[in-house]
Amino acid sequence: MDSATSRGMTKYFLCAILLALLMPLAWAAEPQQPVDPDRLYRLTSELRCLVCQNESLADSNAPLAIDLKNEVRSRMAAGESDEQIKKFLVDRYGNFVIYRPPFNAATLLLWLGPLLLALIGIFAVWRAMRASRAGNETAGAEDETAPPPEESAP
């Protein structure tokens, strides 16, 4: 056997060993079920990008958003429901990750805050109008009871 043939056989032998070592990895990989793109978009539209904060996960191109979209996609492929996926993300990142957080004690201020601010604003306007009206009435009453100014003789 010459050395060129020996080197060629060594390469084939090393390739065969490499393939034999990689075969179990190929067998272990689970085939991904196809994911409905409409369902994926609908669910990621309900989730907030944790980096952008004013953008949905579906519209964001931030690296973390891409990772989260891939996580959602893999969970969908594994057969999880939208509610299970949302629960996973809320458990991991908190209610901030969903655009419509649940109504509970932790989010009470979030839900009732705008209403409270509107009521405070209405009350402040009402008080200001009442004080202004009372000030005008007092000024008008003083004008009626005050004696006319004296005219000075030339």
For 96-122, what is each residue's pLDDT tens digit? 888 887 787 877 887 888 899 999 999
What's the total number of domains in the chain?
Answer: 2
- Are 75 and 126 members of one domain? no
Q: What is the CATH number of the domain that holds 76?
A: 1.10.8.640
Q: Determine the distance from the C-alpha atom of residue 104 to the mean position of all C-alpha atoms in its chain, rounded to a whole number.
A: 18
pLDDT higher than threshold 80 for residue 132: yes
Contact 97, 90 (CB under 8 A): yes
Please report the pLDDT score of residue 1 as a whole number: 55
Please report the pLDDT score of residue 96 as a whole number: 82
Helix ranges, the chain (H): 3-28, 37-45, 63-77, 82-93, 108-145
Higher pLDDT, 111 or 62: 62
Most confident of 31-35, 83-87, 143-147: 83-87
Mean pLDDT over 56-75 rounds to 90
Which pair of structure tokens corresponds to residue 70? Answer: 């891939």
Contact 114, 72 (CB under 8 A): no
68 within a domain of the structure (yes/no): yes
pLDDT band of 13, cuts 50, 70, 90: confident
6 within a domain of the structure (yes/no): no
42 within a domain of the structure (yes/no): yes
- Are 98 and 47 members of one domain? yes
pLDDT higher than threshold 60 for residue 37: yes
- Are 94 and 123 members of one domain? no
Q: What is the pTM of this model?
A: 0.54
- Are 111 and 52 members of one domain? no
Burial (CB count within 10 angstroms: exposed 0-12, middle 13-18, buried 19+), residue 36: exposed
Which pair of structure tokens corresponds to residue 68? Answer: 């989260």
